[in-house]
Structure 1
Amino acid sequence: MKGLRMDELSAEVEVLESKLAKTAELTNKISLSLKKLSSSAQQVESAVKPIYSKTQTLTVLSANIDETISAIDRVQQPSDAVSQEEGTIRKGPQKVGLEAYLASLQRVNEGLTMLKKSNLRSSQKSVQQMTGLLKAGSLQLEELFRETLADDSVPVEPLHYLTKELPFPTFEADKTNNLALLHEFLSSTLATASGLQSNATTIYAEVRGPYITSSLSTLALAAINTTRRNGTSSYERGSNGIGMYTNSLEGIFDSEYENIVRLFPSNVWSTVYHGTTEPAMGVFKRTIQDLNTFISRNMGTDMYLAYEIIECVQVCSARLKAKTGEQREFTEALKPIRQTAQGSFNFMLEDLKRQGQVLVVLPIDYTVADITKDTMARLQTLAGYQSSVSGLLVALGDGNWKRPYDPATTNLSTFDVGADGSLLLSHFLLEVVDQLITEIEGKAHAILKKKGTIAVFMTNNVAYIEATIRRSDLGKIMTSTALSKIEKWRKDAVKLYMEAWKECAAYLMDVTYTSKQASQGSKPLSGKEKEGVKEKFKNFNNAFEDLVQKHKSYTFEKEVRTMLAKEIGFVGPLYGRFYDKYKDSISPKHVKYDRQALDTILAQL
């Protein structure tokens, strides 16, 4: 049994050894195969590695080539824009349309920007060509801007708009949009790239300035021509064309400012407005200066024109300032005429003195003298310009009209901003009236000499002065104090006239008895007393008849005659008392008038 088991084990061992031998043989074969594979791999690696490296290099090169080609294409495209856009640009915006034209210029500008960034020498020619195209295009757009403005810049007739109360014309919406588009381009970097500075604002002023100046030219001429009048009559409000000229200037400036606001950015509004209106303002200033020269030479008749000019210009310039914020030009334009106007107040007083000095004849009927009529007419006219005159007097200062106006010596530090111009005007008017009364009273004493005729003359003149003041705007301007003073002058003149009547009435003065004495009865008149009474009646009758005759011969205005008759009426009661007292004491032949007869005569005065 054991032997059999050993045989089996030996057999298994042999089998295992046989398999092991085969495994070892297979292992050797695998080892040999691996060695061969390793050797082959090394050979492949040695062969492939250079190829891979070369491939990598070629890939980079290919990418570089593609990029270069792309760059060349990008460079080529802007260069091609010259040929592609040149035709459009050379044709001009009128033919191809503004939007298409601007788009073409935009493409050229983009190409130019790219070429400049490339900084290639080969592209310098294209850069020059594109710059030239942009410049040509910008110039054409400038010309289009000018032409578009010129289309609506035909001079207009201002009176058409003034008389119909129409606003002066402005650009239509479509035209405004086109002009704004053109200005936007001309002010953009596109125009700058061509080497041109934007001239849109200058062009606007060059085109619109002459339009405004030409439109107003006839009115400027009319303002000068209307100063020529026949005779020596004083200036009448509105007879000069300065009012229409100023209103038209305001209207056309107002409309022009609207155009500017719609076309330009706010930072250039003031510049464009000044540049555009400067030529017209220059003509306006020269016109004012010419009028000022005329006024200075004809101060006596035309100083009122200075006041009217100041009123017109101040009102219009204030309205324009509220809209545009600009007023300096108008202030400068008014400066010379304001100086002339401020000098007119002293002139008025001095001229009144000169008239008084050369006055050698008074009215033969002792009525109102021409110097009185002329002076009051002058003051009435002056009152019609209260607004400007009050402002001038405030600037001049209370009482400073007494000396010649000299702008070089005017002290602005004494300027009273809070002064009441109406009060100063009242002071000035009163001073003129005072000077007038002084002049005519002096001449009345020198020429008429007789107290009675002096009284008639002064009463007529002062009453005329007072009536003129109360019936006109002068009465509204002058203060109650001033009016009271004038009333006193009138009463003084009446008092002078009444002196002769009081002398006449003095013959009626007699002893006045007390009530106690009267109750005791009156004694019969002695012969001497009767003679005295007869003499009184005689003297009174003679004086009364003389005064009545003279009074009726004098020329008085109805109101003055009524006023004097009322004053003279005091004689009636005096005569009645005297008559009642002595009518029974003396013969009737010595008593010419009874109470009723005398009252009738007085009533007829």
Structure 2
Amino acid sequence: MAIGALSNSTYHAIDEEARAEVDVLNSRLDRTTQLTKKIQASLGRLEATGQSVRDVAGPLNGETRRLQTLSKSQPHSLLDVESVLAAIDRLRQPSDSKDDEEQIIRSGPEKAGLSNYLASIKRLSISYKEMQTSNLRANQGTMNDLTRLIKLGNTQLENHFDKILRGETPRSLEPLHYITKDKPFPVLSQDKIARLGLIYSHVAGNYANGFDSSVAKIYADIRGPYLSASLANLAAASVNTAKKKNPGDIYQAGANGIGTYTQAMEGIFIAEYDNICSIFTREDWGPILQATCQAAVTELARTLRELNTHIKSHLTTDCYMAYEVTEIISGLSNNLDKRTGELKGSLSAALKPVRETAKSSLAELLDETKRKIGNLQTLPTDGAASPIVAETMQRLNSMVEFLRPISSIMISLGDGGWKPGAAASGRTTEGIPSLASFDVGADGKDLFAKYCLDTIEVLLSSLDQKGRVLLRSKSLLGVFLANSVVVIDHVIRSSELGPLLDSRLDLLDQWRKKATVMYTDICRDISVYLFDTIHTNRTKRPTSGHADSADSASVVKGLNSKDKDKIKEKFTQFNNAFDDMVTKHKSYSMDREVRAMFGQDIRQKLQPLYERFWDRYHEIDKGKGKYVKYDKQSIAGVFMSLAT
């Protein structure tokens, strides 16, 4: 009985102990269940309200730490507490880092240091992207904060870019200082270039095209006015130097400031291109250079329009400026295109008005020559050449100095394309001329020579027409034209026109002949007095130039009184007409070459006729000189004097 009682007592004790353990386990299970409910409630609030990670993760942390302690004594808990903790830590991390990064961002790139500042923005961007991929509504508040910080950081970077660049950019510089001393135009310092490049590399990543970025616009907005302001005085000087003290003076090469202006523009543009290449990426160089230089190119276009207006108003004296400007701007365009690959189109558009004037001037100058001659109210009454002849030839001679651009223009017009109303042959160049087009080869020289000959033909033809109206006789017109030909010939042979035209002067020979025919037309009227139709009863007549006084006496003796009177009258009429011709000949203003040419032609036409007539009939007044004023020797002297 005692043994049985003991066993029952022992079993009861064991049962009580088991109950106690069960109660402990139930208690722990209740606590676990409560913690689990709290976690679920916290996560629910996090998902539902989108509160910040710090607000939610704070209370979670205490509870989960207690849960972690509990799980150590109960490893087979229904919850994977470690996974929960890892998830919460991941939620906490952006929130924890945001405060640190915000301090850097708000301090600005100067205080924080540019490299540290850029690294902070990069970390914020990475955090933002990671939170985007989680797609938790609970992250929305933190993501908004990160977005705000990133925007603030980028804005401050742009402001820092602006500040650095403005600090390195003067309002303007004096280009002549660099041109006269043959110094390269200044570029940004390497330290500033490195800082600007770092900022651009970061900001440009926010844009599909880097040249659309805010810092690219800032660069153009700051450096563009600097370029324009630096070139403004030279632009104004180009316009001012176009106005000559004497408007009638022929424009001389280099007299306009456009050459210095474009030299400065080329130097400062290339320096700016070097800056751009050091700061921006390769694909952005061109667009940023275009944007930066646009204001300066616009000012150049305005300057060229003003020059074009002046040229068109003074075409006969200043057309050469159009040729010079065409060559200079074309050279600028080609040099910049070779160096940068940019601005050719903009410069071509700026040059177009002047280039079109240069092209049209060739035909307009021909028309102007006709118009000026047509408006003449008088011509020199002594047969001297009109001043318009020398003016026209001086214009052609001046063109030789601009043969390169003129040749290019003529090639674009085609052979004869300069004639009024003529259409170009098809070899047109709409854009700006290339360097190759300024290679003055045989084609360009040949076209210019043809243009010169066309100008001379228009000049002489127009003078001929005007002379027929204003001059009182053909002989005077002949003198006038011959003098004009001599002026033309002298200008050609004494100038740079000579090598171009020496072998092409058949045109002048034709006009010399025409002038000579006009002048010596009087000889036909005079020669009438030296012909006779008198018949004698002598079978042998004296040979002209060999008859002696006995032959003349016999001829005269054989004449009846009526025929003798006719011979006397012919001598008298010849004397009067010849003396009148000699008087007029000596009264005309003739170039020595013209006088010699006309005198020789008169002598060839009249002297043989007179000697023949004299040989036959000089005994008509028996040597008294009443009718026969000149013997052969004396009239030969007169003929000789006509040529000197």
- CA change 1:55–1:199 in 2 (3 A) is closer
Is 2:150 the counterpart of 1:134?
yes
> Are the structure 2 counterparts of residues 113 and 591 from structure 1 closer, same or farther at C-alpha, using a change threshold of 3 Å?
closer
Write the letter of the residue equivalent to 1:487.
D
Aligned counterparts of 2:450 and 2:280: Cα–Cα separation in 1? 52
**Aligned-pair distance for 1:461?**
1.0
* Corresponding pairs, count: 540
Match of 1:485 among 500, 503, 507: 507
Q: Which runs of 5+ in 2 are unaligned?
A: 1-20, 26-69, 431-436, 533-542, 558-563
Residues 147, 371 of structure 1: alpha-carbon distance in 2 compared, 3 angstrom cutoff: same
Distance 1:141 1:487 in 2: 80
1:350 aligns with 2:367: yes
The one-letter amino acid of 2:235's match is A
Could you tell me how far apart the structure 2 residues matched to 1:432 and 1:447 are?
Answer: 22
Candidates 370, 378, 384, aligned match of 2:395: 378
Q: CA deviation at 1:508?
A: 9.6
Question: Which range moved further: 520-529 or 462-471?
Answer: 520-529
The answer to whether the 8 Å contact 1:85/1:104 transfers is: yes
Report the counterpart of residue 122 of structure 2 in structure 1.
106
Change (3 A) 1:592 1:77: same
- Establish whether residue 311 from structure 1 lines up as the match of residue 327 from structure 2: yes
Q: Which residue of 2 aligns with 1:451?
A: 474
Work out whether residues 224 and 291 of structure 1, in 8 Å CA contact, stay in contact via their aligned partners in 2.
yes
Alignment of 1:69-80 (within 5 A): 69=85, 72-73=88-89, 75-80=91-96
Alpha-carbon contact 1:82-1:130 (below 8 Å) kept = yes
Counterpart pick for 1:555 among 589, 598, 614: 589
Distance 1:322 1:451, change over 3 A: same
Alignment correspondent of 1:31: none
Contact 1:452/1:500 (8 A) holds in 2: yes
How much has 1:437 moved relative to structure 2?
0.8
Alignment CA distance shift 1:415-1:377 (3 Å): same
Moved more, 427-436 or 493-502: 493-502
Instruction: Tell me what 2:271 maps to.
Output: 255
Matched, 1:427 2:450: yes
How far residue 183 of structure 1 moved from its aligned partner, in angstroms, is: 0.8
Which residue in the other structure is 1:30 paired with? none
The CA distance in 1 between the partners of 2:298 and 2:313, in whole Å, is: 23
CA spacing shift, 1:140–1:536, aligned 2, 3 Å: same
Structure 2 equivalent of residue 330 of structure 1: 347
Equivalent residue in structure 2 for 1:524, among 537, 550, 557:
550
Q: Identity of paired residues, percent?
A: 34
Partner secondary structure for residue 219 of structure 2: helix
* Aligned residues of 2:305 and 2:354 also touching (Cα < 8 A): yes
Mapping 1:43-122, distance limit 5 Å: 58-59=74-75, 65=81, 69=85, 72-73=88-89, 75-117=91-133
Deviation digits for residues 548-599 of structure 1 (CA, Å, limit 9, x no counterpart): 65555443445555666776786999699989989x9986987668589939
Matched with 1:398 is 415
- 1:452-510: CA deviation from partner (whole Å, max 9, x where unpaired): 322222211111012222323333444834x2212321343245445557988999999
- Between 1:430-439 and 1:254-263, the stretch displaced more is 254-263
Alignment of 1:131-530 (within 5 A): 131-154=147-170, 155-188=172-205, 198-230=213-245, 232-233=247-248, 236=251, 237-326=253-342, 327-404=344-421, 420-478=443-501, 480-481=503-504, 483-497=505-519, 524-527=550-553, 529=555
Paired residues for 1:557-596 under 5 Å:
557=591, 560=594, 594=633
Letter in 2 for 1:524: A
SS at match of 1:359: coil
User: Contact 1:79–1:111 (CA<8 Å) still a contact in 2?
Assistant: no
Secondary structure at 2:481 match in 1: helix
In terms of mean alpha carbon deviation, does 129-138 or 539-548 score higher?
539-548
> Which deviations, in whole Å up to 9, do the C-alpha atoms of 1:336-389 show, x marking residues without a partner?
333333332332232222222221211243222022222222333334333333
What is the rounded CA distance, in whole Å, between the counterparts of 1:145 and 1:423 in structure 2? Answer: 58
Aligned to 1:170, the other structure's residue is in SS state: coil
Q: Which moved more, 1:100-109 or 1:521-530?
A: 521-530
Identify the range of structure 1 (349-358 vs 541-550) with the bigger mean alpha-carbon deviation: 541-550
CA distance in 2, matches of 1:451, 1:99: 95
| 2:589 aligned partner, one-letter code | T
Cα deviation, 1:64-104, whole Å, max 9, x if unaligned, reads: 55565555555545433333333332232223432233233
Task: Map Cα deviations across residues 5-29 of structure 1 (whole Å, 9 max, x no partner).
Answer: xxxxxxxxxxxxxxxxxxxxxxxxx
Give the TM-score, by structure 1 length: 0.73
Are the structure 2 counterparts of residues 338 and 398 from structure 1 closer, same or farther at C-alpha, using a change threshold of 3 Å?
same
Over 3 Å counting, the alpha-carbon distance change for 1:102 and 1:415 in structure 2 is closer
5+ residue gaps, structure 1, are: 1-46, 511-516
* 1:178/1:491 CA distance change after superposition, 3 Å: farther
Alpha carbons of 1:171 and 1:526: their partners in 2 closer, same or farther (altered >3 Å)?
same
Aligned residue type for 2:226? Y
C-alpha separation in 2, matches of 1:271 and 1:289: 25
Q: Would you say the 8 A contact 2:527–2:606 is kept in 1?
A: no
What is the distance in 1 between the residues matched to 2:632 and 2:165?
96
* Paired letter, 1:447: L
- Return the letter of the residue paired with 2:472: K
Distance 1:289 1:543, change over 3 A: same
Counterpart residue type for residue 262 of structure 1: S
Distance 1:413 1:439, change over 3 A: closer
Q: C-alpha separation between the residues in 2 aligned to 1:144 and 1:60?
A: 58
Task: Give the whole-Å Cα distance in 1 for the aligned partners of 2:636 and 2:507.
Answer: 38
Contact preservation (8 Å) 1:398, 1:424: yes
